[in-house]
Amino acid sequence: MTPAAPFWKNKPLDAMTRAEWESLCDGCGRCCLHKLRDEDTDRVAFTEVACRLLDTQSCRCRDYRNRRQHVPDCVKLTPKRVAAIDWLPPTCAYRLVAEGRDLHWWHPLVSGDADTVHRAGVSVQGRAVPEREAGALEDHVVRWPGRFPRDATRPHPEARPEGSAPCPIP
Ligand code: SF4
Ligand code: SF4
């Protein structure tokens, strides 16, 4: 029997349950890097500087539930905002699904392993600069958050067929 397609392939973002929506985040932390918007051109530049609440090792928000008490301008993603925001990284699962594309092998929902997003070089682990150490954001403009890592779109042996057991590779 052919296994049913996973939810992100057969549901639009606005039809997902809360649990499905939350699980779609790959934990990369890229959206938690500061951005700079040029007032004249309206173009966005990524920086390598992490929001003060981001744990730069785990790439997770240190107080997700109460984050807006600490960082009032933290943007809560919604299906409408995903369509409107121009700074979601190209690897972002919400952006991929909104654009009708599939998740890649390193997404935890595909690999069954939360660490594959780090092993694939997609997350900010090891390259984000903590906000308190950074100084001027203009000194930290980088391009990598707006790009796919070289091998991240290729098929990978860590990928598992739909419906199979979670990836056993540690
Ligand atoms: S860029 Fe997208 S997938 Fe990555 S942490 Fe942010 S919301 Fe989650
Ligand atoms: S408050 Fe948390 S979720 Fe919001 S940008 Fe900062 S680290 Fe990311």
User: Regarding beta strands 44-50 and 33-37, do their DSSP bridges make them parallel or antiparallel, or are they unpaired?
Assistant: antiparallel
pLDDT of residue 117 exceeding 90, the answer is yes
Question: What was the pLDDT predicted at 32?
Answer: 98
- Ligand with smallest separation from the Cα of 29: 1
Backbone dihedral angles phi then psi of residue 19, each to the nearest 5 degrees: -65, -40
- Ligand with smallest separation from the Cα of 98: 1
pLDDT of residue 130 exceeding 70, the answer is yes
Question: What was the pLDDT predicted at 1?
Answer: 60
Q: Is 28 in the pocket of ligand 1 (CB under 6 A)?
A: yes
Question: What was the pLDDT predicted at 158?
Answer: 52
Q: How far is CA 10 from the centre of its chain?
A: 20
Overall pTM surpassing 0.95 (yes/no)? no
Quick one: pLDDT band at residue 2, thresholds 50, 70, 90? Answer: low
Question: pLDDT of 13-48, one tens digit each?
Answer: 999 999 999 999 999 999 999 999 999 999 999 999
Q: Which residue has the tokens 């996973």?
A: 6
Question: What was the pLDDT predicted at 145?
Answer: 96
Q: Is 25 in the pocket of ligand 1 (CB under 6 A)?
A: yes
Spans of all domains in the chain: 13-146
pLDDT of residue 107 exceeding 80, the answer is yes
pLDDT, the chain, mean: 90
Quick one: pLDDT band at residue 153, thresholds 50, 70, 90? Answer: confident
- Within 10 angstroms of residue 66's Cβ, the number of other Cβ atoms is 11
- Ligand with smallest separation from the Cα of 118: 1
d(CA 31, CA 67): 14
The residue-averaged pLDDT of 117-121 equals 94
Which of 64, 75, 77, when mutated, tests ligand 2's pocket best, judged by the most ligand atoms within 8 Å of its CB?
64
pLDDT of residue 166 exceeding 50, the answer is no
Which of 25, 63, 66, 71, when mutated, tests ligand 2's pocket best, judged by the most ligand atoms within 8 Å of its CB?
71
